[in-house]
Amino acid sequence: MIHLDAMPMPMVIIDHSLNIIEASGKAEKLFGRSASFLNWVDHESKDKAVRFMQHKHVEKLELNLVTAEGVISLFTVFINWDKNTAAVVLQLEDQLIVQLMNKVKEHQRRLEESDMELILKKNELEVSFGRISELSTAAIHLTDEVVLIPIFGDLSVSLIHYNQERILNNIYSQNIDEVIIDLQSVGRMDEAGVEELMKMIQSFSLFGAECTITGVKPEHAPFLNQFKTIKKLTFINNLEDKVARIIC
């Protein structure tokens, strides 16, 4: 008979109670010394081991075994009974699967990380966007009583919403008499955005401030027709003249 240690794989001889009668050097090195085979079996595989190795004598079985280092690994267990003893060969199964799974997980983790980075970038962008929006409607004090608000970019509901409170506070607290809104740097307009602007201008008049709109482009004109209903609102076509008059 060939000595167990000559076998290329970890191997043990067990009896019907799953006691280890003899273990190869490879097996003991991998799992440590033990009186019972069950000591090598992971908690959640024990029932399976008892049922299929002790009660039924199957020839092949997958079990999770715990190595001496405490690592749970999947083994295919080959069993060959000869009267009162069985030769058991243990073949580590999941190395290839584990390697593949780890690769897949690595990719997943990388995706998750870039996903998280994107979220953080999105938050940063939102902050920057707010700042840009604020800068797009700066309130410039021409004199103590006159404020110029040049609007840059697209005239949208969100642009007005974002800045309305700051502008109104400014006009109220500084006792502003006249607000000049310059639209020459406005790109697109839509009806909802124009309506919000109109509401804001109406609020100016509540504080007693007059409003002048300048820099209207031909393509914006149709949107602004409804503004004619607002009192204390005038349109001018040349900001320079107006500023010159104020400064004189």
Residues making contact with other proteins (CB under 8 A): 43-44, 47-48, 52, 58, 61-62, 72, 74, 93-94, 97, 101, 105, 108-109, 112, 116, 119-120, 123
Least gap, CB of 174 to other proteins (angstroms): 36
Q: How far is CA 129 from CA 74, 126, 164, in A?
A: 53, 5, 16
Tell me how far CA of residue 174 lies from CA of 27, 102, 128, in angstroms: 87, 64, 27
> Between 44 and 240, whose beta carbon lies closer to other proteins?
44
CB neighbour list of residue 191: distance below 8 Å, 6 or more residues apart:
223
Judged by beta carbon, residue 48 or residue 232, the one nearer other proteins is: 48
State the nearest-atom distance from the C-beta of 165 to other proteins, in Å. Answer: 23
Between residues 49 and 159, which has the closer beta carbon with respect to other proteins?
49
Residue closer to other proteins (CB basis): 49 or 155? 49
Write the CA distances from 205 to 171, 176, 179, integer angstroms. 10, 11, 10
Please report, for residues 16, 31, 53, 59, 194, the alpha-carbon distance to residue 81 in angstroms, rounded to integers and kept in the order given: 9, 22, 10, 8, 89
Quick check: helix, strand or coil at residue 199?
A: helix
DSSP letter, residue 19: B
Give the residue with the Cβ less far from other proteins, 74 or 236.
Answer: 74
Element (H, E) at 128: helix 95-135
Q: What is the closest distance, in whole angstroms, from the C-beta atom of residue 160 to other proteins in the complex?
A: 22
**Smallest gap from residue 108 Cβ to other proteins (A):** 6
- Give the shortest CB-53-to-other proteins separation in angstroms: 10
